[in-house]
Amino acid sequence: MRRKETMPDFVFRLMAFSFKIMDLFSSPVSILDNLEIKAGDTVIDYGCGPGRYIKKASQLVGKDGVVHGVDLHHLAVATVLKLVRKENLNNVNAVQAYDYSVALPDQVADIIYAFDMFHMVEEPGKFLQELYRLLKHEGYLYLEPGHQSYALAKEKILTSGLWIILVETRYFKCTPKTVT
């Protein structure tokens, strides 16, 4: 049985197409302006999908920063790699996640954002543990509830015991708890 996080290829293609249509009417990338991404930062776009935010994130971190587009779906990784070549995004890497695990070092990221995907995560504790491992202790996680209730998403974050929620808006801005 396939996990719901790894949708069938035709569903991924349909989703990517629908994003292109939606983006003609309203660009989603303005949300990145509110995330405190600075030149030189290392950013992880977890659940990057077809790479809607990748180019803007690449511009924000500049030539001295790095963006890791991470996804469980092989077509997402392939799509980001195509975008990297097409747009000459030398500071972007596409990374395949396996069962939430990402082949990146501990505490590598200054910022992690995960938009419109948290509702698909079947094991939120495991997922949030991996994000905790990847994020620097002074970094920020921006997590959008996705297609689940705000209260349920908040409960999942707090139940993990790993995060302090600093701000609750369209997304949760979190920082790692110091775990002893």
Single-letter amino acid code for the residue at 174: C
The per-type count for the chain, helices as H runs and strands as E runs, is 5, 8
Tens-digit pLDDT profile for residues 48-81: 988 889 999 999 999 999 999 999 989 989 999 9
- pLDDT of 68 reads 98
> Residue 18 sits in which domain range?
9-176
Per-10-residue mean pLDDT, the chain, length 180 = 55 61 63 93 94 94 98 91 96 95 97 93 96 97 94 97 96 88
Q: Domains in the chain: how many in total?
A: 1
User: Is 4 part of a structural domain of the chain?
Assistant: no
Helical axes 124-134 vs 150-160, angle rounded to 10°: 60
pTM of the predicted structure, to 2 decimals: 0.87
Helical axes 9-25 vs 74-87, angle rounded to 10°: 40
Q: How far apart are CA 120 and CA 153, in angstroms?
A: 11
Q: What φ, ψ does residue 56 adopt, rounded to 5°?
A: -65, -45
- pLDDT of 9 reads 74
- pLDDT of 2 reads 38
User: Is 144 part of a structural domain of the chain?
Assistant: yes
What's the CATH number where 55 sits? 3.40.50.150
User: Is 44 part of a structural domain of the chain?
Assistant: yes
